Amino acid sequence: MEDKNIKIILQYDGTRYDGWQKQGNTVQTIQGKLEAVLERMAGCPVEVHGSGRTDAGVHALRQVANFHLPMSYFRGKENSSALASVKNYLNEYLPEDIRILDAQEVQPRFHSRLNAVSKTYIYRIETAEKKDVFERKYRYGLGTMPDLEAMRRAADLLIGTHDFRAFCSVKKMKKTTVRTVSRIDIRREGTQLELLFEGNGFLYNMVRILVGTLLEAGLHERSVNSVREALLSLDRSQAGKTAPAEGLFLADVAYEEKISQSMQ
């Protein structure tokens, strides 16, 4: 075996980043920051694969990524101490708004995106007139309390396996736009709302468009039934606005245990 496959779990504040994916016109991406530090640590280029490409301004509570490190990095070290050194090195040299929670060796065929079986996103909303000073970067300031029952009825229409083309910002998709949304929860605590979405995958901007559409139903700017009509139309113009990025968090990514288990 010429290298080892390392899986990391990380969190980040996406406020000042141009998204996850490395881009030629900016150095402000999560993937780019990780690869730069790993290259310095390993002494060679290291490609990082993320479970999903969060958009500019979107945060992550538990993002999953993997990369391969050459065996030379592990020579003369116990596996556990070497993995601890990977985690500690990344946390020392990454910016303070990116944190590595765990690092472990996984099977060579594990891929953080291709092997993911479900993802969970959370969208946070403040309904008070002004957002909490210390949470203002992490909630959408709606400024009014929507009709939650109308939102829940509309959400029920979206659960299941559907073609979500109307809820995607990309006009022409080469791959299928069929996804399965297994769960949508709408929770309230005081003036704060939290919308949870769980599914086998999400299209570009899909969660934010779902949020915008549900909020329009809750504000009575559209009927509950129009949400079903938008879904069936496959037409982006029939769905709601794209909610702002600051309220969105990638909360978790799930895998089949046999493919993601540690090699330790």
With contact defined as beta carbons under 8 Å apart, do 249 and 121 qualify?
A: yes
With contact defined as beta carbons under 8 Å apart, do 182 and 159 qualify?
A: yes
With contact defined as beta carbons under 8 Å apart, do 33 and 95 qualify?
A: yes
Q: What's the full length of the chain, in residues?
A: 264
Pairwise CA distance, residues 110 & 5, whole Å: 8
For residues 204-243, b (16+ Cβ closer than 10 Å) or e, as one string?
ebbbbbbbbbbbbbbbeebebebbeebbeebebebbbebb
List the catalytic residues. Answer: 55
